[in-house]
Structures are given as C-alpha cells and as structure tokens.
C-alpha cells in the first residue's frame, strides 16, 4: 500500500510543473494548501480560507489556549451592569498596511458594514445583537446590544467576520477591494492554481515574523503533497486533513522531520438529513449510528491519531458535559431497526429495498481532503454491511457549501468548529441554512422549538437556566440521531529540516506562522 501511495504521488508530481525543483531563499517559508486562499476579505466566507484571513486581519480580543480571552487590538474593556453596553479601549499606534490608522472610526466602519449585511452573517448572533456602534473617543468604542448576550468576547475573537479592513479600502466598495489589515502578514501575489505569496508586515505593531516571506503552494493531491515534503519542495504540512494518516506515520518515523499532534480541538461528525428520504426516518438514522463502528474508523483510518467521539461536542467545552448514552456499535440492532422501518433484504448481503425503492443515499465529502475521503470509503463499507448503499460524492469546497445549504445530501461531513465557537456560535448557526445543520435538522418535528431555545440560551443571564437549556438541546439532538460522531479532531504538522520551533495555534483554523523559526541549517 505504501509503495502504491508513493508511485501515485510521483505520477501526480510529474503533472505539476509548478513543483519543479528550484532554490528557495533562506528567509522564505514554503507551505502547501489544496487551493488558493481566495480574495481574503475579512468579512467574507468561502472561498476565503480562514488560516490566511487570520494572518492578515486581527480581532479586538484573542482566544488563547485554556479558554481565556486576552486583549489584542483592544487593550481593555468594561461591561455595564445590565450586560447591554460594552466599552473597549483600543491599542494606540497601530496602522493598517496602507498607512491608515487603526482607531475607533475604523472599528465602527467595519462593524457598521457587518450590521448592514445581516443576511450574510445571520448565523452569528452577535451581529443581530448589535444595536449601535458609537465612537466615544479616538481610541474608545462602545457597543450597544439588544440583550445581555453572554458570548460577546468569544465571538469578537473569531477569525471571521469580526475583523478589520482598512476603512480606506472599505469605502471603495467591492470593486476597489484589496486585502489590507493590521496583521503580521500581507498578501502580495496570487497565481490561480499555483500559489499565494505573503510577505512580512514590516510595520507590524507586535513581534514580526522571523521569515520574510511565506509561499503557499497549491497542491490539491495529498500524495503529491507528501512527496513534495519528502523531496524538500515544501517545508511544512499543517493540518490533519492535509496528509493521510499513513503518510503522517511514515514521516513520524523519519528523523529528518519533526511531527506533532495537537490535543483535541473540535469534533468530526457526519450530519444526517432528517428532511430527506431515507434518513427522514428516525429508525434509519439510529440504524446508521449503530451500524458504523467508530472504534474501527479511528483505528484503521485515523491510525489512532484521534480519539473516538460519542457525542456532538467533546465534554470539555462550556455546557457540554451532559450525560448521554452513546450509540454503541451493534450491527444486529442496526439491521433490526431497518427491518422495522420496512427496508428488507431479498437475500443475504443484498442491498435493502422498500416498495421497490433501494435503500441508498449520497454521502458528500471534500474530494481533496485525504482524511474525509478515507473515512467516507470506510463508512460506505460499514453501511453496505447492513444493506445500505452510500453513493460517495467528492466535491470541491464551493460544492460542499452549496450542498450543505440546499440540503442535497443524505450524509455530509459537518465538523464542529472548536474553540471559541463551540457550543454557542456553532449552535447559533443551526438556525439558518448556511451550514449543514439547518438542513440536517429540517425534518425534526421539534425544529422550531430547537431554534427558539437556541435563541433564548444565548441571552440567558441565569447560569442554571442556561445550563438546563443546553442540556435539553444536546439531549434532543442526540436522541434524534442527527449526527454521527466519529472522532475528536486534532491538528497535526510535519516540518522539514529547514524549520524549528513549530507549534499549534489556539484554535483549529489558526497557524501561527509568525512564531515559526528557521533551523540553523537554513541560515
């Protein structure tokens, strides 16, 4: 299998002239990603890539490991007794890379733009809560909210959309857009299908990156990416979805490379569509959860690099420590549930049918994601064993987004977002059709009640009542078998010999390139 993997990588590499060998300056860090980073508007979504948005744009406050919020572009804040007014003091001496000062007017211009486009940002309750943004001094800004919304600081720390574009660019509109932020990196070149080039922000207010340039090569195929790393064409692969588990283990055994796996950061799930046959039947959804062996997936596909998941969220996030009975792997029970639902097998090992209709569904995944592809194939085999046919549908990122929003899926990967999103922001997004969750829950008889209670819990000031509401929500979603939990997602990296001091960011989508250092061999 390993020999075949390398042969495939070699064949793919031969078709990519952009990966031809060439000397790389010592102060250039070469990374790879499956696609271009996009236009990098701080308020935009796909095709904007989150890791790159976090390089160019900065938040008022920053989430740090352990669940704390620390000052960033805001140096301090105060909240009124009723929880509806927040005053922020801004860091002085910060400028955007076009020379425009970062001040209270810049914050107001960006937040006003977000509020004016509530339809696009409907998944994020903070935007709906903003009643007014007021400049109280050049370095002070006030947020007035409709309600005492408790996740304010967490949502101000998100990678998008509450980050700041130069107001000079913002005033020009979409036609005059350029990615101008206050962050440690500047995007200076994009070659579609080939690379994106970032350079160090020499006027950055904080610690400047050790590398003068970051070149992000577009390498869609994970086998090609592995070979490019091995041959020195790239210095770094970062993210658990960028290499197969087998390739990662091979690099981990090679002393030339530094490898690491992060602690659990989020949950890897498949969302089941309760509004579309055959998964509109609770018995079918429960049969799927009992029919897929998560322990086997983690052992044989993820090679034990992640831990098996039993519920939608790991229990170490706020309000998620709810006692729920896991759906244990039980193939006989899964088949019995399908029989009860009227899906019968004409003969052993045949696919099930009901009233002449085969028991089948679309299982959607990102085609360039090595891990999702391998997991989809394994889930397909597990479901075939109970008489269900899963048609694998590999899509690009925009295709996945379109399917999630339209509900054109039977099962689809819908991982949680990790800190600082889980559970509040992730669950807030369940109420609008921007991600898979809304469509996955659309057939539930209590969907309206779920949405109502999510809205209530986000502005609940009583801690006990808030905890009770979260417990109700998580219990209902679990019992209704809307999600197939697979594992608790980690991040990982493989660094080549030109790198040292590589580490993880505080969230799953942040790569702290600015803290990476070259090895002595690269100097």
Provide the 8-state DSSP code for 212.
Answer: S
Domains of the chain: 2-41+183-262+491-522 (3.40.190.10), 58-174 (3.40.190.10), 266-489 (3.10.105.10)
> Residue 503 has what pLDDT?
92
Can you tell me the distance from the alpha carbon of 228 to that of 230, in angstroms, rounded to the nearest whole number?
5
Can you tell me the distance from the alpha carbon of 508 to that of 443, in angstroms, rounded to the nearest whole number?
31
Structure tokens at 40: 């990098």
Residue ranges with strand state E in 385-460: 389-395, 411-413
When the pLDDT of each residue in the chain is averaged and rounded to a whole number, the result is 92
pLDDT digits (tens, 9 = 90+) for 11-68: 333 334 343 444 678 899 999 999 999 999 999 998 999 999 999 999 999 998 777 8
Q: Which of 411, 406, 474 is nearest to 439 (CA)?
A: 406
Can you tell me the distance from the alpha carbon of 438 to that of 482, in angstroms, rounded to the nearest whole number?
11
Burial 236-268 (b: 16+ CB within 10 A, else e): bbbbbbbbbbebbbbbbeeeebbbeebebbbbb
pLDDT digits (tens, 9 = 90+) for 334-385: 999 999 999 999 887 789 999 999 999 999 999 988 889 999 999 999 999 9
Q: Give pTM, 2 decimals.
A: 0.82
> Residue 314 has what pLDDT?
87
| Chain centroid offset of residue 214 CA | 22
Instruction: Tell me if residue 398 falls in helix, strand or coil.
Output: helix
Q: How would you class 70 by CB atoms within 10 Å of its CB: exposed for 0-12, middle for 13-18, buried for 19 or more?
A: exposed
Position 448 confidence tier, pLDDT thresholds 50, 70, 90: very high
Least confident window among 96-105, 216-225, 236-245: 236-245
> Residue 23 has what pLDDT?
63
> Residue 520 has what pLDDT?
65
Instruction: Tell me if residue 213 falls in helix, strand or coil.
Output: strand
Q: Measured in Å, how far apart are the chain's first and last C-alpha atoms?
A: 37
User: In the predicted model, is pLDDT for residue 294 greater than 70?
Assistant: yes
Average pLDDT over residues 408-434: 93
> Residue 490 has what pLDDT?
86
Is the CB of residue 310 less than 8 Å from the CB of residue 388? no
Average pLDDT over residues 224-240: 94
More confident residue, 3 or 232: 232
pLDDT digits (tens, 9 = 90+) for 68-121: 899 999 999 999 999 999 999 999 999 999 999 999 999 999 999 999 998 899
User: In the predicted model, is pLDDT for residue 256 greater than 50?
Assistant: yes
Average pLDDT over residues 310-335: 94
The pair phi, psi for residue 518, each rounded to 5°, is: -75, 150
Can you tell me the distance from the alpha carbon of 196 to that of 265, in angstroms, rounded to the nearest whole number?
27
Q: Which residues contact 79 (CB under 8 A, 6 or more apart)?
A: 85, 86, 87, 152
Cis bond before residue 423 (omega within 30° of 0): yes
Average pLDDT over residues 505-523: 83
User: In the predicted model, is pLDDT for residue 512 greater than 50?
Assistant: yes
pLDDT digits (tens, 9 = 90+) for 139-181: 999 999 999 999 999 999 999 999 999 999 999 988 999 999 9
Can you tell me the distance from the alpha carbon of 282 to that of 287, in angstroms, rounded to the nearest whole number?
8
Average pLDDT over residues 245-274: 93
User: In the predicted model, is pLDDT for residue 137 greater than 70?
Assistant: yes
User: In the predicted model, is pLDDT for residue 286 greater than 60?
Assistant: yes
Can you tell me the distance from the alpha carbon of 12 to that of 3, in angstroms, rounded to the nearest whole number?
14
Average pLDDT over residues 315-323: 90
> Residue 346 has what pLDDT?
85
> Residue 501 has what pLDDT?
85
- The DSSP annotation for 87-127 comes to EEEEPTT-B-TTSPBPSHHHHHHHHHHHHHTTTTTTT-HHH
């Amino acid at each position: 299998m390993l020999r075949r993997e390398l042969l495939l990588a070699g064949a793919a590499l031969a078709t990519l002239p952009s990966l031809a060998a060439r000397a790389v300056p010592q102060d250039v860090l070469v990374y790879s990603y499956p696609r271009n980073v996009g236009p990098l508007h701080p308020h935009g979504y796909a095709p904007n890539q989150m890791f790159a948005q976090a390089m160019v744009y900065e938040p008022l406050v920053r989430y740090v490991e352990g669940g704390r919020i620390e000052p960033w572009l805001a140096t301090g804040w105060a909240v009124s007794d009723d929880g509806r007014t927040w005053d922020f003091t801004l860091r002085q001496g910060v400028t955007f890379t076009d020379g425009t000062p970062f001040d209270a007017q810049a914050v107001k211009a960006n937040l006003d733009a977000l509020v004016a486009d509530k339809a696009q940002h409907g998944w994020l309750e903070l935007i709906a809560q903003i009643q007014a943004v007021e400049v109280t001094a050049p370095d002070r800004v006030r947020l007035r909210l409709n309600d005492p919304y408790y996740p304010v600081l967490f949502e101000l720390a998100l990678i998008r959309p509450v980050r700041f574009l130069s107001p000079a660019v913002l005033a020009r509109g979409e036609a005059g857009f350029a990615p101008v932020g206050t962050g440690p990196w500047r995007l200076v070149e994009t070659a579609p299908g080939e690379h994106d080039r970032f350079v160090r922000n020499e006027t950055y207010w904080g610690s400047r990156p050790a590398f003068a340039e970051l070149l992000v090569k577009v390498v869609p195929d994970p086998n090609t990416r592995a070979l490019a790393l091995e041959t020195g064409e790239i210095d770094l692969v970062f993210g658990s979805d960028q290499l197969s588990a087998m390739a990662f283990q091979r690099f981990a055994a090679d002393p030339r490379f530094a490898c690491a796996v992060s602690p659990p950061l989020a949950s890897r799930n498949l969302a089941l569509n309760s509004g579309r046959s055959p998964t509109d039947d609770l018995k079918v959804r429960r049969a799927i959860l009992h029919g897929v062996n998560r322990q086997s997936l983690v052992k044989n596909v993820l090679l034990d690099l992640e831990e098996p998941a039993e519920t939608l969220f790991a229990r170490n996030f706020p309000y998620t420590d709810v006692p729920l009975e896991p759906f244990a792997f039980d193939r006989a029970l899964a088949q019995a549930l399908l029989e009860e639902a009227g899906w019968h097998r004409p003969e052993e090992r045949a696919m099930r049918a009901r009233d002449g209709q085969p028991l089948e569904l679309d299982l959607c995944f990102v085609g360039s994601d090595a891990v999702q592809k391998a997991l989809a194939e394994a889930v397909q085999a597990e479901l075939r064993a109970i008489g269900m046919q899963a048609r694998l549908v590999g899509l690009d990122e925009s295709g996945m987004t379109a399917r999630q929003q339209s509900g054109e899926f039977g099962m689809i990967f819908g991982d949680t977002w990790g800190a600082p999103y889980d559970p509040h922001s992730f669950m807030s997004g369940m109420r609008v059709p921007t991600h898979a969750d809304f469509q996955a829950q659309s057939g539930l008889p209590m969907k309206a009640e779920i949405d109502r209670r999510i809205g209530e819990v986000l502005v609940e000031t009583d801690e006990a009542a808030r905890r009770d509401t979260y417990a109700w929500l998580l219990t209902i979603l679990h019992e209704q078998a809307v999600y197939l939990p697979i594992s608790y997602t980690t991040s990982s990296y493989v660094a080549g010999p030109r790198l040292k001091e590589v580490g993880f960011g505080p969230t799953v989508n942040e790569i702290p390139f600015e803290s990476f250092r070259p090895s002595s061999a690269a100097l």
